[in-house]
Amino acid sequence: MAQRVGIALGSNIGNRLRNLQHARDLLRQLVPEDTAYAQAPIYQSEPVDCPDDSPDFFNTVLEIDYIGTPYELLEHTQGIEFHCGRSIVHQYNAPRIIDLDILYFGNEIIKETVLNIPHLEITNRRFVLQPLTDIRPQLILPGDTATISEHLHYLDSDEPALSMVQSDW
């Protein structure tokens, strides 16, 4: 049975828009053409917890119907990152061509070293909450009581406001 899955996409090296489009197209190949699909606008954000002088990110969120396990999806997302040119980085949060993070996977709750669902930082990051609010404002994550839009409204963060780059991409 298909699960509704949210995936955050980010890029801050090279042609950021093209990187996001390429990753999106590869993610869409994971699901049948007739399944529900949503994509948020792309926003530009300043790097958070990244090395000094890191370029700004383009960020967005996709929601797809996925048939398989969270671990299979993790393998797919890591494969897409590699296919898009992401190399192994030894510096924490170093600039990258593409970054894909599974935000939620239906009603699953997983807390492990290699996979945390819902994503541990989902409600603390404006660059995730804003695009997710655009497509799923009333979403309540497993184990939570507030909607995504409420989390965004009450976000206590030093992150500056995001600027929309493109709504239709």
Q: Is 65 a catalytic residue?
A: no
> Which of 16, 24, 96, 136 is flagged as catalytic?
96
Q: Is 25 a catalytic residue?
A: no
User: At 164, phi and psi to the nearest 5?
Assistant: -70, 135
From first CA to last CA, the distance across the chain in angstroms is 29
Coil, strand or helix: which one is 78? helix
The answer to whether residues 17 and 34 touch, using CB atoms and an 8 Å cutoff, is no
Coil, strand or helix: which one is 47? coil
Q: Kind of pairing, strands 163-166 and 42-45?
A: antiparallel
Q: Is 101 a catalytic residue?
A: yes
> Which of 99, 126, 134, 136 is flagged as catalytic?
99
Question: 10 Å Cβ neighbour count for 89?
Answer: 11
The answer to whether residues 5 and 122 touch, using CB atoms and an 8 Å cutoff, is no
> Which of 101, 126, 134, 136 is flagged as catalytic?
101
What is the rounded distance in angstroms from the CA atom of residue 8 to the CA atom of residue 161? 18
Q: Is 99 a catalytic residue?
A: yes
Which residues are part of the catalytic machinery?
A: 86, 96, 99, 101
